Amino acid sequence: MNGKILKALYRKEMLDILRDKKTILMMIVVPLILYPLIFMLSMYMASSMLTASTSKSYRVSVQEVAEPQEMEIFLLETEKEHDYDFIIVDSYTEHRDSETALREGEIDAYLIQSVSENKPYYEIAYLASETDSQTAAGMLQDMMKDYRDKMRRELLEEQGLDSEQILSPVGYAYKDLSSNEENAGNLLGYMIPFLMITSILMGAMYPAIDTTAGEKERGTLETMLTMPVRNLELITAKFLATSTVAVAAAFLNLLSMGLLGAYTYSSMQYAGSAGGLNVFSYLPAILIMLLCVIVFAMFASGACLSACIFARSFKEAQNYTSPVMIIFMLGGMAGMIPSLRLNETTALIPVVNITLLISELFKFHFDLSLIAMVLFSNIAYAGVTIVLMTRFFSSENILFGDAAVSLKLMEARKDMKAKQIPGVGDVILLFSVLLLVILFAGSLAVVRLGICGLLVEQGLLFAVTAFYAWYIRTDAVKVFHLRRPRVFSVIAAVLCWAGGYLLIQVLANGLMGLFPDLSQENTQMLVGLWEGVPLWLLVLAVAVFPAVCEETVFRGFLLGALEHKYSAPAAVIVTGLLFGLYHMSLLQFVLIGLLGILFSYVAWKEQCIWLSILMHFLNNLTSLLLQQFEEPITKRIPALAGEMNGSTVFFVLLAGAVLLAAGLFLLQFRGKRGELK
């Protein structure tokens, strides 16, 4: 990479970005003016609402009580202790009942008395849909607790007993051992990550759109590609320029929030309510957070550029960045989940890891190993996005063609060509629809029907995919790889599966040792469904149906569409990773994703989906039999239960490598129907 060329390209990209008034507006005006204004206005509104709710007079009725006058006197005498203001209404029930008066807004709440277990029982009637009624009911509840305590004391004193000694035999109090800095840091840990992620996205989104779709629209991208520069240099310059703007936007946002915090702190000190807060204790957390801003801005910029590079116009790019923003903002809310903590697993989840790290820093939890994992993982993710963008820039179909994001479904069926290949837009839409089918219809079917619900779930996958392919008039033979398998191909597929299965077992054993919390994911639920079910039905639901239906989706529609748009390695890898993602588990994403890549390779190599169906069936059947006959099988072969020592790991790795190599050799030896490019 030529440093001078990169510097010149970077300078050019920065000048183009800074000429855009929208970018300047989002970088400077929003963080420095709008955010503090919104914050101050929301604080003022919250304070006003709180003051109004406690100082307002509320109209209540107590006429449906046995001794209304005594209760009215008690309420009027006690309201001053709580700083409440009640207006006792006693005239409406002469002509109408209290419920009608409540619903027509003439009173906010009322007391009604009945008898339960030979003692008076009071109910507070109110409307939860009305704020004033809800507030009045809460106030009445506080005062009725006082009334209950008063009656207790009177009854005890009538018996000649010491009411205070009996009602309060022991005392207790809260003792908060957290420092003021820790309490404030806990609050900051909820707010700052979300605001930081939002500001970085806002800073990266518009430059990413401008340097990709904007240049396509202006017609300047073609000129850039004719220059004597490498794609990597061009992409790196765009990436660095976008990252620079994102970092600048984040720093301005943090500066704005810091100034607002300083103003709030000085106001609290002036009012004498700062509580001796030492703001300098947050300095290490702030310094590490600034480093997090830089590495996360790199990842966010790469993600935005990767999405925008597919767009043909500024408007279309805005649509593509919307899902990216939603996903990132959901990750930014991870710090608000009480049970979610930063550990070796969450430290590797994009967006979530940064959110949890910043939250932990402001709670004064500094784990250097986790900090390093978060920072280096984000750098790695940013590197992956650069590699992807370089590949995308090498494809004219993506940069200038319509097929890269085509959505055949948008055309009328009568206008569609026969035997066409689905576009990437069709892949994205179908995969998204299938995820929704699994999450909602599939989950409901499993809950209602048990093991038969799995059959329904798989049937829905097959039906949706088949209907979509039929509707867009797909070339079924090409897309679904419906060629007959050869004998040697079947043997090769079985050997590939056996070798891959053994290697995955070793990897699973290692991952479970590193992340023991992941080893129980989804297992208990499935085993619960299997109890008391005949073996033949289990084989049908767990092995046969998933093998046919899931392979129709992944090694059929998805692989068939992607291999005609991109290179074969990209199609094989992406299909395998989507297969892992479909199983919605971090551990299974890795393990099943790798198996999915192997299945995709074999199906592509022979252009035969029946081979991947066979491999999928064998894999699921083996897992089922191990679960059903765990004790006799693992007694003879302990390695299958995950009990592997050093020598066992070596022999399993050796056997897996030999079997996989033999299978791949047979695929090559018998000739190939496709060729990796």
Residue 405's pLDDT is what?
A: 47
* Local confidence band at 499 (pLDDT 50, 70, 90 cut-offs): very high
Give the domain-ending residue among 399, 425, 453.
Answer: 399
Same domain, 286 and 359: yes
Same domain, 68 and 200: no
Contact 514, 344 (CB under 8 A): yes
Same domain, 372 and 226: yes
Same domain, 66 and 148: yes
Tell me the per-residue pLDDT of 150-200, one tens digit each, with 9 for 90 and over.
888 888 888 888 888 888 888 888 887 888 788 888 888 888 888 888 888
Same domain, 192 and 105: no
Residue 553 has pLDDT above 80, yes or no: yes
Tell me the CA distances in angstroms from 230 to 5, 223, 236, 237, 307, one per residue in order: 9, 13, 10, 11, 21
Same domain, 514 and 373: no
Please tell me the pTM assigned to this model. Answer: 0.65
Give the domain-ending residue among 157, 174, 205.
Answer: 157
* Local confidence band at 672 (pLDDT 50, 70, 90 cut-offs): very low
Residue 542 has pLDDT above 80, yes or no: yes
Tell me the per-residue pLDDT of 308-360, one tens digit each, with 9 for 90 and over.
887 777 777 877 787 788 888 888 888 777 777 888 878 888 888 899 999 88
**Is residue 419, in this structure, part of any structural domain at all?**
no
Give the domain-ending residue among 378, 399, 420.
Answer: 399
**Is residue 175, in this structure, part of any structural domain at all?**
no
Same domain, 213 and 297: yes
**C-alpha angle with apex 460: 456 to 463, nearest 5 degrees?**
130
* Local confidence band at 98 (pLDDT 50, 70, 90 cut-offs): confident
Residue 403's pLDDT is what?
A: 43
How far is it, in rounded angstroms, from Cα 220 to Cα 276?
58
Residue 396 has pLDDT above 50, yes or no: yes
Comparison of pLDDT for 434 and 233, the residue scoring more: 434
Tell me the per-residue pLDDT of 37-49, one tens digit each, with 9 for 90 and over.
777 777 777 666 6
Average pLDDT (369-389) is 89
Residue 51 has pLDDT above 70, yes or no: no
Same domain, 532 and 632: yes
pLDDT > 90: what percent of the chain?
18
Same domain, 153 and 191: no
Residue 224 has pLDDT above 50, yes or no: yes
* Local confidence band at 93 (pLDDT 50, 70, 90 cut-offs): very low
Residue 522 has pLDDT above 50, yes or no: no
Residue 570's pLDDT is what?
A: 86
* Local confidence band at 458 (pLDDT 50, 70, 90 cut-offs): very high
**Is residue 339, in this structure, part of any structural domain at all?**
yes
Rg over CA atoms, the chain: 33
Same domain, 246 and 388: yes
Range of 132's domain?
56-157
Tell me the per-residue pLDDT of 480-495, one tens digit each, with 9 for 90 and over.
999 999 888 999 999 9
301: CB partners within 8 A, 6+ apart: 204, 207, 208, 239, 242, 243, 246, 382, 385
Residue 54 has pLDDT above 80, yes or no: no
**Is residue 660, in this structure, part of any structural domain at all?**
yes
**Is residue 24, in this structure, part of any structural domain at all?**
no
**C-alpha angle with apex 452: 449 to 457, nearest 5 degrees?**
95
Order of strands, sheet of 86-88, starting from the edge strand that comes earlier in the sequence: 86-88, 58-64, 109-116, 119-125
**Is residue 181, in this structure, part of any structural domain at all?**
no
What is the three-class DSSP state of 359? helix
> Taking the alpha carbons of 588, 591, 594, 599 in that order, is the dihedral positive or negative?
negative
Among the ranges given (43-57, 375-389, 455-469), the one the predictor scored with the smallest mean pLDDT: 43-57
75: CB partners within 8 A, 6+ apart: 60, 62, 86, 88, 143
Same domain, 106 and 212: no
How far is it, in rounded angstroms, from Cα 262 to Cα 456?
59
Same domain, 520 and 645: yes
Residue 515 has pLDDT above 70, yes or no: no
* Local confidence band at 670 (pLDDT 50, 70, 90 cut-offs): low
The one-letter code for the residue type at 67 is E
pLDDT > 70: what percent of the chain?
83
Residue 500's pLDDT is what?
A: 93
Residue 117's pLDDT is what?
A: 65
**Is residue 265, in this structure, part of any structural domain at all?**
yes
Domain count, the chain: 3
Among the ranges given (202-211, 385-394, 437-446, 526-535), the one the predictor scored with the smallest mean pLDDT: 526-535
Comparison of pLDDT for 641 and 595, the residue scoring more: 595
Where residue 144 sits, what CATH number does that domain have? 3.40.190.10
**Is residue 9, in this structure, part of any structural domain at all?**
no
Question: In what helix (H) or strand (E) does residue 494 lie, and over which residues does it extend?
Answer: helix 487-514
Residue 135 has pLDDT above 60, yes or no: yes
Residue 540's pLDDT is what?
A: 93
Comparison of pLDDT for 407 and 615, the residue scoring more: 615
Residue-averaged pLDDT of the chain: 81
How far is it, in rounded angstroms, from Cα 106 to Cα 646?
80
